[in-house]
Amino acid sequence: MGDFFERRIVDTGHLPLFCFFVAFIVTFVFTRVNVRLIRANVRWWFRNVKAGDLHIHHVVFGVVLMLIGGVGSFAVPDLYGPLNGATAVVFGVGSALVLDEFALILHVRDVYWAEEGRASVDAVFIAVAFTGLLLLGARPIGFGDRPYSQDVLNPMYAGAFALTLTVNLVLAVATLLKGKIWTGLLGLFVPVLLIVGAFRLARPGSPWAHRRYEHDSRKLRRAQRREERIRRPLIRAKIWFQEFIAGRHDHIPHLAKKKDGNAP
């Protein structure tokens, strides 16, 4: 196991990324356990952090830690050593705290346990998937293993590379506009997914459908049938898994009206 870690993580220069990945996941899990116990009013557990009547959300601590970790990584001369790994841990902890309240930033109000709060868990899952792929050695389109090789100096090669990159990015944007977030992001690593996502029907509630599909058109009806038949069961499974890890999100009217909310 030690040799595997040395060969796949340390020797490849992935130690800081690994430290970030582990710190991110551990912090997110701990944070969710913490807020669920606070929500349950467990007497022996922590309470919300307050300064007088002001409720301080954990996104505030996350921003501070991200700043410390980010600046620290620039200041450390050893790019792949233990010190850089330590700054990656700090940055990972801060990132988890920030993304865990992504929905608060998006809606500019406390929706932590409301339906809108699922956006935070989606953001965390996307970050974990993206970082995990990078850790496994996957590279987004345009970031190969030899970005500065002599081939780049060849005008024909450079032109083909630029054209391929542009086409893939256009397909990625089209896929995201069609409401296929996971397909668009994973397609950055597996371009064939972008072709599938960009040319298939958009999801009914996506920006693409609102702009391109007329009301009660054949395409919109097909998209709605596909949403009900295929995507709804997948979404229900995803929500069950998210709530198993992060807690149940219910629309609670009195929480939506409160400015401070109950989540730290």
pTM over 0.85: no
* Domain locations in the chain as residue ranges: 1-114+251-264
Q: What angle do CA 201, 207, 212 make, to 5 degrees?
A: 60
**Residue of higher predicted confidence among 74 and 80:** 74
Give the pLDDT confidence score for residue 80 in this predicted structure.
Answer: 65
Give the pLDDT confidence score for residue 79 in this predicted structure.
Answer: 67
> What number is the average pLDDT over the span 144-157?
57
> What number is the average pLDDT over the span 48-60?
84
**Residue of higher predicted confidence among 159 and 144:** 159
Query: What pLDDT digit, counting tens, does each position of 195-225 carry?
Result: 999 999 898 888 888 888 888 888 888 888 8
In the chain, the percentage of residues whose pLDDT exceeds 70 is 87
DSSP letters, 187-236, are TTTSTHHHHHHHHSPPPTTSHHHHHHSPTT-HHHHHHHHHIIIIIHHHHH
Q: List, in order, residues 6 or more apart from 40 with CB less than 8 Å away.
A: none
Give the pLDDT confidence score for residue 142 in this predicted structure.
Answer: 62
